[in-house]
Chains A and B, each alone.
Chain A
Protein backbone atom coordinates (compact mmCIF):
# COMPACT_ATOMS: atom_id res chain seq x y z
CA UNK A 1 0.00 0.00 0.00
CA UNK A 2 2.64 2.44 1.16
CA UNK A 3 4.91 1.40 -1.71
CA UNK A 4 2.17 2.00 -4.24
CA UNK A 5 1.49 5.52 -3.02
CA UNK A 6 5.14 6.44 -3.16
CA UNK A 7 5.42 5.03 -6.63
CA UNK A 8 2.38 6.96 -7.79
CA UNK A 9 3.51 10.24 -6.33
CA UNK A 10 6.97 9.82 -7.81
CA UNK A 11 5.34 9.19 -11.15
CA UNK A 12 3.13 12.25 -10.80
CA UNK A 13 6.14 14.33 -9.88
CA UNK A 14 8.13 13.16 -12.88
CA UNK A 15 5.19 13.84 -15.15
CA UNK A 16 4.64 17.33 -13.84
CA UNK A 17 8.37 18.03 -14.10
CA UNK A 18 8.38 17.07 -17.73
CA UNK A 19 5.26 19.18 -18.18
CA UNK A 20 6.99 22.13 -16.56
CA UNK A 21 10.09 21.70 -18.65
CA UNK A 22 8.05 21.36 -21.86
CA UNK A 23 6.25 24.55 -20.95
CA UNK A 24 9.53 26.29 -20.23
CA UNK A 25 10.86 25.09 -23.54
CA UNK A 26 7.80 26.51 -25.29
CA UNK A 27 8.08 29.84 -23.49
CA UNK A 28 11.72 30.16 -24.51
CA UNK A 29 11.02 29.24 -28.12
CA UNK A 30 8.10 31.67 -28.24
CA UNK A 31 10.22 34.48 -26.87
CA UNK A 32 13.00 33.79 -29.37
CA UNK A 33 10.50 33.77 -32.23
CA UNK A 34 8.94 37.04 -31.08
CA UNK A 35 12.38 38.62 -30.86
CA UNK A 36 13.12 37.48 -34.43
CA UNK A 37 9.81 39.02 -35.50
CA UNK A 38 10.83 42.34 -33.97
CA UNK A 39 14.18 42.07 -35.70
CA UNK A 40 12.38 41.73 -39.05
CA UNK A 41 10.06 44.61 -38.16
CA UNK A 42 13.04 46.79 -37.27
CA UNK A 43 14.27 46.57 -40.86
CA UNK A 44 10.71 47.10 -42.13
CA UNK A 45 10.21 43.56 -43.34
CA UNK A 46 7.79 41.82 -40.98
CA UNK A 47 5.40 39.49 -42.80
CA UNK A 48 1.65 39.72 -42.44
CA UNK A 49 0.86 36.49 -40.62
CA UNK A 50 3.81 36.09 -38.25
CA UNK A 51 2.14 37.84 -35.33
CA UNK A 52 -1.01 35.78 -35.88
CA UNK A 53 0.95 32.52 -35.70
CA UNK A 54 2.55 33.63 -32.44
CA UNK A 55 -0.86 34.44 -31.00
CA UNK A 56 -2.27 31.10 -32.11
CA UNK A 57 0.76 29.38 -30.55
CA UNK A 58 0.02 31.00 -27.18
CA UNK A 59 -3.60 29.89 -27.40
CA UNK A 60 -2.66 26.33 -28.30
CA UNK A 61 -0.23 26.20 -25.37
CA UNK A 62 -2.89 27.47 -22.99
CA UNK A 63 -5.16 24.68 -24.15
CA UNK A 64 -2.39 22.19 -23.47
CA UNK A 65 -1.63 21.38 -27.11
CA UNK A 66 2.10 21.94 -26.90
CA UNK A 67 2.77 20.01 -30.06
CA UNK A 68 0.67 22.39 -32.14
CA UNK A 69 2.05 25.36 -30.23
CA UNK A 70 5.65 24.42 -30.99
CA UNK A 71 4.84 23.93 -34.67
CA UNK A 72 3.32 27.39 -34.91
CA UNK A 73 6.29 28.93 -33.13
CA UNK A 74 8.65 27.22 -35.55
CA UNK A 75 6.65 28.56 -38.49
CA UNK A 76 6.71 32.09 -37.10
CA UNK A 77 10.44 31.86 -36.44
CA UNK A 78 11.13 30.67 -39.96
CA UNK A 79 9.01 33.45 -41.47
CA UNK A 80 11.00 36.10 -39.67
CA UNK A 81 14.29 34.54 -40.70
CA UNK A 82 13.10 34.47 -44.31
CA UNK A 83 11.96 38.09 -44.05
CA UNK A 84 15.35 39.20 -42.74
CA UNK A 85 17.09 37.33 -45.57
CA UNK A 86 14.68 38.92 -48.01
CA UNK A 87 15.58 42.38 -46.76
CA UNK A 88 19.29 41.66 -47.09
CA UNK A 89 18.70 40.45 -50.65
CA UNK A 90 16.56 43.43 -51.62
CA UNK A 91 19.04 46.04 -50.41
CA UNK A 92 21.18 45.01 -53.38
CA UNK A 93 18.42 44.36 -55.88
CA UNK A 94 15.92 47.22 -55.63
CA UNK A 95 17.94 49.88 -57.42
CA UNK A 96 18.28 47.82 -60.60
CA UNK A 97 14.48 47.89 -60.82
CA UNK A 98 14.26 51.68 -60.87
CA UNK A 99 12.71 53.08 -64.05
CA UNK A 100 15.42 55.13 -65.73
Chain B
Protein backbone atom coordinates (compact mmCIF):
# COMPACT_ATOMS: atom_id res chain seq x y z
CA UNK B 1 0.00 0.00 0.00
CA UNK B 2 2.68 2.47 1.08
CA UNK B 3 4.65 1.59 -2.01
CA UNK B 4 1.67 2.31 -4.19
CA UNK B 5 1.11 5.69 -2.60
CA UNK B 6 4.77 6.54 -3.07
CA UNK B 7 4.67 5.47 -6.71
CA UNK B 8 1.55 7.52 -7.25
CA UNK B 9 3.14 10.52 -5.64
CA UNK B 10 6.19 10.25 -7.86
CA UNK B 11 3.95 9.93 -10.88
CA UNK B 12 1.90 12.93 -9.81
CA UNK B 13 4.98 15.01 -9.18
CA UNK B 14 6.39 14.10 -12.58
CA UNK B 15 3.11 14.92 -14.30
CA UNK B 16 2.70 18.28 -12.61
CA UNK B 17 6.37 19.05 -13.23
CA UNK B 18 5.98 18.55 -16.94
CA UNK B 19 2.71 20.48 -16.95
CA UNK B 20 4.27 23.40 -15.13
CA UNK B 21 7.53 23.35 -17.04
CA UNK B 22 6.66 22.56 -20.60
CA UNK B 23 9.91 23.27 -22.39
CA UNK B 24 10.34 25.61 -25.35
CA UNK B 25 9.96 22.73 -27.78
CA UNK B 26 6.59 21.69 -26.29
CA UNK B 27 5.54 25.33 -26.48
CA UNK B 28 6.57 25.57 -30.11
CA UNK B 29 4.79 22.41 -31.20
CA UNK B 30 1.55 23.53 -29.53
CA UNK B 31 1.94 27.01 -31.02
CA UNK B 32 2.45 25.70 -34.53
CA UNK B 33 -0.42 23.24 -34.21
CA UNK B 34 -2.74 25.97 -32.97
CA UNK B 35 -2.23 28.06 -36.11
CA UNK B 36 -2.09 25.26 -38.63
CA UNK B 37 -5.39 23.93 -37.23
CA UNK B 38 -6.94 27.38 -37.09
CA UNK B 39 -6.03 28.04 -40.74
CA UNK B 40 -6.13 24.61 -42.37
CA UNK B 41 -6.10 26.15 -45.87
CA UNK B 42 -2.69 27.72 -45.28
CA UNK B 43 0.34 25.51 -45.94
CA UNK B 44 2.71 25.69 -42.97
CA UNK B 45 5.56 27.24 -44.95
CA UNK B 46 3.30 30.09 -46.07
CA UNK B 47 2.75 31.60 -42.60
CA UNK B 48 5.88 33.71 -43.18
CA UNK B 49 3.70 35.88 -45.39
CA UNK B 50 1.72 37.22 -42.45
CA UNK B 51 -1.79 38.44 -43.12
CA UNK B 52 -1.39 37.51 -46.81
CA UNK B 53 -1.15 33.85 -45.84
CA UNK B 54 -4.76 33.84 -44.62
CA UNK B 55 -6.48 36.62 -46.58
CA UNK B 56 -6.69 35.93 -50.33
CA UNK B 57 -8.00 39.38 -51.37
CA UNK B 58 -5.16 41.30 -49.76
CA UNK B 59 -2.71 38.64 -50.99
CA UNK B 60 -3.57 39.65 -54.58
CA UNK B 61 -2.67 43.28 -53.91
CA UNK B 62 0.50 42.28 -52.13
CA UNK B 63 1.67 40.06 -54.97
CA UNK B 64 1.30 43.04 -57.29
CA UNK B 65 3.34 45.19 -54.92
CA UNK B 66 6.02 42.52 -54.76
CA UNK B 67 6.57 42.89 -58.53
CA UNK B 68 8.22 46.26 -57.86
CA UNK B 69 9.17 45.78 -54.23
CA UNK B 70 9.24 49.02 -52.23
CA UNK B 71 12.13 47.64 -50.15
CA UNK B 72 14.46 47.41 -53.14
CA UNK B 73 15.90 50.90 -52.61
CA UNK B 74 16.71 49.92 -49.05
CA UNK B 75 18.55 46.77 -50.15
CA UNK B 76 20.56 48.91 -52.60
CA UNK B 77 21.40 51.47 -49.91
CA UNK B 78 22.42 48.62 -47.63
CA UNK B 79 24.62 47.11 -50.32
CA UNK B 80 26.42 50.43 -50.87
CA UNK B 81 26.99 50.81 -47.13
CA UNK B 82 28.21 47.22 -47.01
CA UNK B 83 30.76 47.86 -49.74
CA UNK B 84 32.04 51.14 -48.34
CA UNK B 85 35.00 50.49 -46.03
CA UNK B 86 35.04 51.83 -42.45
CA UNK B 87 37.62 54.52 -41.61
CA UNK B 88 39.99 51.80 -40.42
CA UNK B 89 39.87 50.10 -43.84
CA UNK B 90 37.81 47.15 -42.63
CA UNK B 91 34.14 46.55 -43.37
CA UNK B 92 31.03 44.59 -42.47
CA UNK B 93 32.41 41.62 -44.36
CA UNK B 94 35.14 41.31 -41.72
CA UNK B 95 32.38 40.68 -39.18
CA UNK B 96 29.79 38.81 -41.25
CA UNK B 97 31.50 37.26 -44.29
CA UNK B 98 29.14 37.52 -47.24
CA UNK B 99 26.33 38.81 -45.01
CA UNK B 100 24.14 35.73 -45.34
CA UNK B 101 23.94 35.23 -41.58
CA UNK B 102 20.29 35.97 -40.73
CA UNK B 103 19.74 32.35 -39.78
CA UNK B 104 22.24 32.63 -36.91
CA UNK B 105 20.22 35.28 -35.09
CA UNK B 106 18.88 35.83 -32.53
CA UNK B 107 21.00 33.66 -30.27
CA UNK B 108 21.74 33.32 -26.58
CA UNK B 109 25.34 34.21 -25.76
CA UNK B 110 26.17 32.09 -22.72
CA UNK B 111 29.40 33.98 -22.05
CA UNK B 112 27.77 37.41 -22.04
CA UNK B 113 24.51 36.11 -20.60
CA UNK B 114 22.41 38.01 -23.08
CA UNK B 115 20.50 37.74 -26.33
CA UNK B 116 22.31 38.88 -29.46
CA UNK B 117 20.09 40.03 -32.31
CA UNK B 118 21.33 40.78 -35.81
CA UNK B 119 20.77 44.52 -35.39
CA UNK B 120 22.74 44.50 -32.16
CA UNK B 121 25.55 42.60 -33.89
CA UNK B 122 25.64 45.16 -36.73
CA UNK B 123 26.24 47.99 -34.29
CA UNK B 124 28.76 45.98 -32.32
CA UNK B 125 30.64 45.36 -35.56
CA UNK B 126 30.69 49.10 -36.22
CA UNK B 127 31.82 50.00 -32.72
CA UNK B 128 34.54 47.34 -32.75
CA UNK B 129 35.88 49.10 -35.84
CA UNK B 130 35.73 52.61 -34.41
CA UNK B 131 32.47 53.65 -36.07
CA UNK B 132 29.53 55.32 -34.36
CA UNK B 133 26.60 52.98 -33.68
CA UNK B 134 23.53 53.59 -35.89
CA UNK B 135 20.11 54.50 -34.57
CA UNK B 136 17.96 51.39 -34.05
CA UNK B 137 14.50 50.99 -35.52
CA UNK B 138 14.78 52.48 -38.99
CA UNK B 139 17.07 54.32 -41.41
CA UNK B 140 20.64 53.22 -42.17
CA UNK B 141 20.57 50.29 -39.78
CA UNK B 142 17.40 48.97 -41.40
CA UNK B 143 19.14 49.27 -44.81
CA UNK B 144 22.12 47.13 -43.74
CA UNK B 145 19.72 44.69 -42.15
CA UNK B 146 17.64 44.61 -45.37
CA UNK B 147 20.73 43.78 -47.42
CA UNK B 148 21.83 41.03 -45.03
CA UNK B 149 18.32 39.59 -44.85
CA UNK B 150 18.11 39.60 -48.62
CA UNK B 151 21.42 37.72 -48.82
CA UNK B 152 20.03 35.23 -46.30
CA UNK B 153 16.70 34.46 -47.93
CA UNK B 154 15.74 30.82 -47.61
CA UNK B 155 17.74 30.19 -44.44
CA UNK B 156 15.88 28.29 -41.72
CA UNK B 157 14.76 29.91 -38.52
CA UNK B 158 16.58 27.92 -35.87
CA UNK B 159 16.76 29.50 -32.43
CA UNK B 160 18.52 27.41 -29.80
CA UNK B 161 17.85 27.73 -26.07
CA UNK B 162 20.89 26.01 -24.52
CA UNK B 163 19.53 23.46 -22.05
CA UNK B 164 22.54 23.68 -19.79
CA UNK B 165 22.06 27.39 -19.19
CA UNK B 166 19.17 28.25 -16.85
CA UNK B 167 19.63 31.95 -17.64
CA UNK B 168 18.80 31.28 -21.28
CA UNK B 169 15.61 29.50 -20.32
CA UNK B 170 14.74 32.32 -17.94
CA UNK B 171 15.17 34.89 -20.75
CA UNK B 172 12.94 32.78 -22.99
CA UNK B 173 10.33 32.54 -20.24
CA UNK B 174 10.32 36.32 -19.76
CA UNK B 175 9.73 36.79 -23.48
CA UNK B 176 6.89 34.29 -23.29
CA UNK B 177 5.34 36.05 -20.30
CA UNK B 178 5.55 39.36 -22.17
CA UNK B 179 3.74 37.86 -25.15
CA UNK B 180 0.87 36.50 -23.10
CA UNK B 181 0.41 39.40 -20.66
CA UNK B 182 -2.17 42.11 -21.12
CA UNK B 183 -0.84 45.62 -20.85
CA UNK B 184 -1.72 49.21 -21.65
CA UNK B 185 -4.84 51.19 -20.88
CA UNK B 186 -6.76 49.10 -23.44
CA UNK B 187 -5.63 45.90 -21.71
CA UNK B 188 -4.45 43.67 -24.56
CA UNK B 189 -1.89 40.88 -24.76
CA UNK B 190 -0.09 40.18 -28.04
CA UNK B 191 -1.83 36.83 -28.13
CA UNK B 192 -5.26 38.49 -27.87
CA UNK B 193 -4.80 39.98 -31.34
CA UNK B 194 -2.40 37.57 -33.02
CA UNK B 195 -3.61 34.29 -31.47
CA UNK B 196 -7.28 33.99 -30.58
CA UNK B 197 -8.00 37.18 -32.54
CA UNK B 198 -6.02 36.25 -35.65
CA UNK B 199 -8.17 36.18 -38.75
CA UNK B 200 -10.73 38.47 -37.11
CA UNK B 201 -11.70 41.81 -38.55
CA UNK B 202 -10.87 45.01 -36.72
CA UNK B 203 -12.91 47.43 -38.78
CA UNK B 204 -11.57 46.87 -42.30
CA UNK B 205 -8.32 45.14 -41.27
CA UNK B 206 -7.73 41.51 -40.55
CA UNK B 207 -5.34 40.40 -37.81
CA UNK B 208 -2.38 38.25 -38.81
CA UNK B 209 -1.38 34.99 -37.07
CA UNK B 210 1.72 35.07 -34.86
CA UNK B 211 3.31 32.06 -36.51
CA UNK B 212 5.89 33.37 -38.99
CA UNK B 213 5.76 36.91 -37.59
CA UNK B 214 9.53 37.24 -37.39
CA UNK B 215 10.59 35.94 -40.80
CA UNK B 216 10.57 38.97 -43.08
CA UNK B 217 12.26 41.90 -41.35
CA UNK B 218 12.99 44.70 -41.88
CA UNK B 219 9.70 45.66 -43.52
CA UNK B 220 8.67 48.44 -45.85
CA UNK B 221 5.35 49.46 -44.43
CA UNK B 222 3.07 51.70 -46.48
CA UNK B 223 1.79 53.31 -43.30
CA UNK B 224 5.35 54.24 -42.27
CA UNK B 225 6.38 55.17 -45.79
CA UNK B 226 9.79 53.64 -45.06
CA UNK B 227 11.61 50.65 -43.60
CA UNK B 228 11.33 49.53 -40.01
CA UNK B 229 12.76 46.74 -37.90
CA UNK B 230 10.89 44.11 -35.92
CA UNK B 231 11.40 46.10 -32.72
CA UNK B 232 9.87 49.19 -34.32
CA UNK B 233 6.78 47.08 -34.98
CA UNK B 234 6.80 45.78 -31.37
CA UNK B 235 6.78 49.43 -30.25
CA UNK B 236 3.85 50.25 -32.52
CA UNK B 237 1.84 47.29 -31.26
CA UNK B 238 2.52 48.29 -27.64
CA UNK B 239 1.49 51.88 -28.22
CA UNK B 240 -1.71 51.05 -30.06
CA UNK B 241 -3.04 49.44 -26.88
CA UNK B 242 -1.85 52.58 -25.04
CA UNK B 243 1.09 50.97 -23.27
CA UNK B 244 4.41 52.79 -23.17
CA UNK B 245 6.75 51.13 -25.65
CA UNK B 246 10.25 49.93 -24.84
CA UNK B 247 13.34 51.00 -26.74
CA UNK B 248 14.42 48.95 -29.76
CA UNK B 249 17.04 46.44 -28.56
CA UNK B 250 15.93 46.83 -24.93
CA UNK B 251 16.22 43.60 -22.94
CA UNK B 252 12.41 43.31 -23.06
CA UNK B 253 12.20 43.41 -26.85
CA UNK B 254 15.18 41.12 -27.30
CA UNK B 255 13.51 38.58 -25.00
CA UNK B 256 10.28 38.99 -26.95
CA UNK B 257 12.18 38.44 -30.21
CA UNK B 258 13.86 35.33 -28.78
CA UNK B 259 10.55 33.79 -27.74
CA UNK B 260 8.64 34.74 -30.87
CA UNK B 261 11.42 33.60 -33.19
CA UNK B 262 11.68 30.27 -31.38
CA UNK B 263 7.95 29.77 -32.02
CA UNK B 264 8.68 29.94 -35.77
CA UNK B 265 11.63 27.53 -35.75
CA UNK B 266 11.70 25.49 -38.95
CA UNK B 267 10.15 28.19 -41.14
CA UNK B 268 12.21 30.21 -43.60
CA UNK B 269 13.63 33.71 -43.41
CA UNK B 270 12.24 35.74 -46.33
CA UNK B 271 13.17 39.34 -45.54
CA UNK B 272 13.02 42.11 -46.31
CA UNK B 273 9.25 42.34 -46.69
CA UNK B 274 6.41 44.63 -47.67
CA UNK B 275 3.31 45.19 -45.58
CA UNK B 276 0.34 47.52 -45.49
Contact = CB atoms under 8 A, between A and B. Distances in A.
Interface of A: 41, 44-51, 79, 82, 86-87, 90, 93-95, 97-100
Given A44-B183, A94-B177, A97-B191, 12 more contacts: A44-B246, A47-B184, A48-B185, A48-B244, A79-B185, A86-B183, A90-B181, A94-B180, A97-B180, A97-B189, A100-B26, A100-B30
B180 A98 contact: yes
15 contacts: A44-B183, A46-B244, A49-B242, A82-B185, A86-B182, A86-B183, A90-B183, A94-B181, A94-B189, A95-B180, A97-B189, A97-B191, A99-B191, A100-B26, A100-B30
> Sorted from nearest, which 6 A-B pairs have the closest CB atoms?
A46-B244, A94-B181, A48-B242, A94-B180, A97-B180, A90-B181
B239 interface: yes
Nearest to A79: B185
Contacts of A87: 183
Interface residues of B, number: 27
Interface string B229-255: 000000000110011111000001000
A95 to B, nearest CB: 7
Interface in B145-179: 176-178
B187 A47 contact: no
A46 B34 CA distance: 31
B27 interface: yes
B189 A48 contact: no
B244 A47 contact: yes
Contacts of A79: 185
A100 B20 CA distance: 11
A95 B246 CA distance: 22
Contacts of A82: 185
Nearest to A45: B183
B243 A45 contact: yes
